[in-house]
């Protein structure tokens, strides 16, 4: 990693907003920061309070609001039809995108970690989000919101602006390649259709863990959309859905009837009790919620507790909170699956429903006994995860 660079210049970052603010060109505003430079010598260089300058530029894009540029091409491809292209009208409202320049002194401020090579960008992004929050309040515009660095993909252009006004291009900064645009799949269309049909059937039949997977997918959209609060809340929703489904399947494996299972679920046993009592007693392992060195303790701290701060105290999480929640959720999920594997002879249906035969095989959990039981369960006339009385076993 490059060492932090400082000097008698302004760092500049040219970024594209993921939405438009609805204002014309001409915004040029300095936000003075209530912090000081780390040394008086730096203050003497810049001769003013630390600041972040935000400037705006509106750039037209090819589509029009009511006539996307590729609409005639799509109609031609689907129907071999020709709908023509309307004549250009100077009064027709064109689409546009908004670009910002973020500019700030290339010097550390009090409280900033002096080992961070991206200190100027991180400072600029914090002030941009302060600006966006203030703009949303001032305009009462809920389409405007804070953003994360992920939403500035694919590139941010970095430059240096000398105090004399001369700008130098320093290069592009690749933004979060883990959230890069998805490429076209090389799988044949029939393979996609087969998988799609199976997924539709799973959703319509309300298979166990489907809702949990959907909420987890929503949480992981942070990599593309950057909403940290939604990610943490969605991870916790996914966790609770997964835990309650897991509890129900454990009861199925124990041979409980559908009425008994519904009764237990309808009793609204608190989530914490389901974890520390219902699951812990059946699956074994370490279930101390306060143990920060365990997968369960990390999940409880990074997901459950942060979700409560968001919902009950109005906490606004940052991207690091969401990253920690993602890692903690994954560890919690793997912990549950490891415990199921340890108890596979007692809860084989639950293991198959939660992990799937393919991952059971790939993880080396497919003993001869497990393969035989998977084949038997998959051959049953009714779905193997249903209670015995419903399935007619």
* pLDDT tens sequence across 330-372: 999 999 999 999 999 999 999 999 999 999 999 999 999 999 9
The label of the residue with tokens 């894009």 reads: 61
**Beta-strand relationship, 155-162 and 28-32:** unpaired
Q: Give me the pLDDT at residue 347, please.
A: 97
Q: Which residues of the chain have pLDDT under 70?
A: 1, 64-66, 87-94, 176-187, 189, 192, 224
pTM: 0.75
The label of the residue with tokens 């700030």 reads: 104
Q: Give me the pLDDT at residue 71, please.
A: 85
Q: Give me the pLDDT at residue 192, please.
A: 67
Give the C-alpha separation, 47 to 224, whole Å: 40
Q: Give me the pLDDT at residue 193, please.
A: 76
H helices of the chain, in order, are 40-46, 71-79, 119-139, 189-204, 210-220, 222-225, 228-253, 258-266, 271-273, 280-283, 295-299, 305-313, 319-342, 348-355, 357-362, 368-378, 388-391
Q: Give me the pLDDT at residue 87, please.
A: 67
Q: Give me the pLDDT at residue 37, please.
A: 95
Cβ-based neighbour number of residue 248 at 10 Å: 18
Cβ-based neighbour number of residue 294 at 10 Å: 18
Question: 115-126 burial string, b = 16+ CB within 10 Å, else e?
Answer: eeebbbbebbbe
Q: Which residues on adjacent β-strands are paired with residue 162? A: 9
Q: Give me the pLDDT at residue 93, please.
A: 57
Residue 296 CA, chain-centre distance (Å), reads 21
* Helix, coil or strand: residue 111: coil
Q: Give me the pLDDT at residue 185, please.
A: 61
The label of the residue with tokens 């002030």 reads: 127
Q: Give me the pLDDT at residue 183, please.
A: 64
CB 303 within 8 A of CB 236: yes
Give the C-alpha separation, 18 to 300, whole Å: 33
């Amino acid at each position: 990693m490059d060492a932090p660079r400082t000097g008698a210049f302004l760092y500049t970052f040219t970024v594209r907003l993921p939405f438009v603010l609805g204002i014309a060109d001409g915004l040029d505003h300095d936000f003075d920061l209530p912090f000081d430079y780390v040394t008086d010598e730096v203050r003497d260089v810049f001769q003013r309070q630390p600041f972040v300058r935000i400037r705006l530029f509106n750039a037209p894009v090819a589509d029009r609001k009511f006539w996307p540029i590729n609409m005639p091409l799509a109609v031609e491809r689907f129907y071999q039809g020709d709908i023509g292209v309307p004549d250009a009208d100077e009064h027709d409202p064109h689409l546009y995108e908004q670009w910002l320049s973020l500019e700030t002194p290339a010097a550390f401020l009090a409280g900033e970690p002096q080992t961070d090579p991206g200190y100027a960008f991180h400072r600029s992004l914090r002030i941009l989000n302060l600006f966006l929050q203030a703009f949303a309040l001032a305009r009462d515009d809920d389409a405007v919101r804070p953003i994360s660095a992920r939403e500035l993909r694919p590139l941010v252009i970095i430059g240096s602006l000398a105090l004399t006004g001369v700008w130098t291009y320093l290069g592009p900064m690749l933004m979060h390649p883990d959230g890069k645009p998805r490429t076209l799949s090389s799988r044949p269309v029939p393979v996609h259709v087969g998988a799609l049909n199976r997924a539709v059937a799973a959703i319509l039949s309300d298979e166990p863990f489907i809702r949990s997977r959907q909420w987890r997918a929503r949480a992981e959209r942070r990599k593309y959309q950057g909403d940290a609060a939604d990610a943490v809340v969605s991870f916790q929703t996914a966790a609770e859905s997964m835990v309650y489904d897991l509890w129900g399947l454990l009861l199925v494996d124990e041979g409980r009837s559908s009425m008994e299972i519904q009764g237990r679920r309808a009793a609204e046993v608190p989530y914490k009790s389901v974890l520390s009592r219902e699951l812990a007693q059946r699956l074994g392992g370490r279930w101390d919620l306060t143990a920060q060195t365990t997968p369960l303790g990390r999940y409880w701290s990074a997901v459950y507790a942060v979700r409560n701060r968001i919902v009950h105290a109005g906490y606004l999480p940052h991207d690091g909170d969401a990253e920690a929640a993602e890692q903690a959720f994954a560890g919690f999920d793997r912990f549950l699956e490891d415990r199921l594997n340890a108890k596979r002879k007692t809860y084989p249906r639950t293991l198959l429903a939660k992990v799937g035969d393919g991952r059971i095989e790939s993880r080396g959990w497919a003993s001869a006994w497990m393969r035989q039981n998977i084949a038997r369960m998959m051959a049953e006339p009714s779905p193997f995860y249903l209670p015995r009385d419903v399935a007619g076993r």
